Amino acid sequence: MGVISKMYCKIWQKDFAKLPVATKELIFRDLQLMYQWERTEKTDREMLAHMSTMHRNDAIVSVPAGVDSSDWQTMCEMWTTGDEQRVAGRNKQNRATQSMPYRWGRTSHYQLMNDFSNMHGCNPHRLEFFKMGRCKDLPDDSESWVDEESRRRYEAMNQMIAPSLDVDAESHTPATPEDAFILVMGKDRPSCVSCAGSEETLNTWYRSIGTSASSE
């Protein structure tokens, strides 16, 4: 029940009985794949009530790593308010019209970076991370981008870092991945370093790559 409730319900869901009928049917469908029972109006109501209680309790006790338990409980309580739900709804609408959307949903930048580091033995630069977050490698070795704008910008950055194949061209020094990223994506804002994780600032990011934020 816990796994299924997380699949179909937001963390601030208080009463499963108020879920759309289609969502409730999906919940019961998945539960019946493992458990068989005679569905009646009474059993449906009791199960939804039990899942509502379990979901609220589980959301509060499942504190993410690195988050203070009291802060987490406060956030869970805030997410049940009408104002927070309206903000969440507005953000959802904004994401629906977002250009170059991140395709990994709730998987954080840091988790992707960690997975890349474990696989390749080094951290990804921002150009690589941009592709990871917006492109999927298909079994036939082709690529599926979230939108055409993402693909266009990645190709532009990739061309900047590629060495020139024209032997008659003047000496050409390819751009670094970091320089190419900034030229195509624009300068970073102090409150948001693109493709670097939500906790990075100009100072922490440029210090980590050995460059002065002021010079950038």
**Residue 133 resides in a domain:** yes
Query: What does the CA dihedral 195, 198, 201, 206 come to, rounded to 10 degrees?
Result: -30
The residue segments making up the domain with residue 53 are 2-84
**Residue 136 resides in a domain:** yes
Question: Where does the pLDDT of residue 69 fall: very low under 50, low under 70, confident under 90, or very high at 90 and above?
Answer: confident
- Domain shared by 76 and 128, yes or no: no
pLDDT of residue 214: 44
State pTM to two decimals.
0.47
Listed ranges 9-23, 94-108, 134-148; the one with the highest mean pLDDT? 134-148
- Domain shared by 46 and 114, yes or no: no
pLDDT of residue 133: 85
36: which 2 tokens?
């068989």
- Domain shared by 79 and 113, yes or no: no
Residue 78, Cα to own-chain centre: how many angstroms? 21
More confidently predicted of 12 and 216: 12
What is the number of domains present in the chain? 2
- Domain shared by 117 and 203, yes or no: yes
Q: How far apart are CA 130 and CA 137, in angstroms?
A: 14
- Domain shared by 66 and 29, yes or no: yes
Mean pLDDT for 91-114 is 73
**Residue 27 resides in a domain:** yes
- Domain shared by 117 and 166, yes or no: yes
- Domain shared by 125 and 49, yes or no: no
- State pLDDT tens for residues 1-11: 777 777 777 76
- State pLDDT tens for residues 133-156: 888 888 888 889 888 888 899 999
**Residue 25 resides in a domain:** yes
Mean pLDDT over each residue of the chain, to the nearest integer: 77
- Domain shared by 198 and 115, yes or no: yes
Does the pLDDT at position 170 exceed 60? no
Domain boundary among 84, 99, 118: 84
Mean pLDDT for 12-34 is 82
β 143-145/135-137 pair status: antiparallel
**Residue 90 resides in a domain:** no
Listed ranges 69-83, 86-100, 175-189; the one with the highest mean pLDDT? 175-189
**Residue 59 resides in a domain:** yes
Question: Where does the pLDDT of residue 212 fall: very low under 50, low under 70, confident under 90, or very high at 90 and above?
Answer: very low
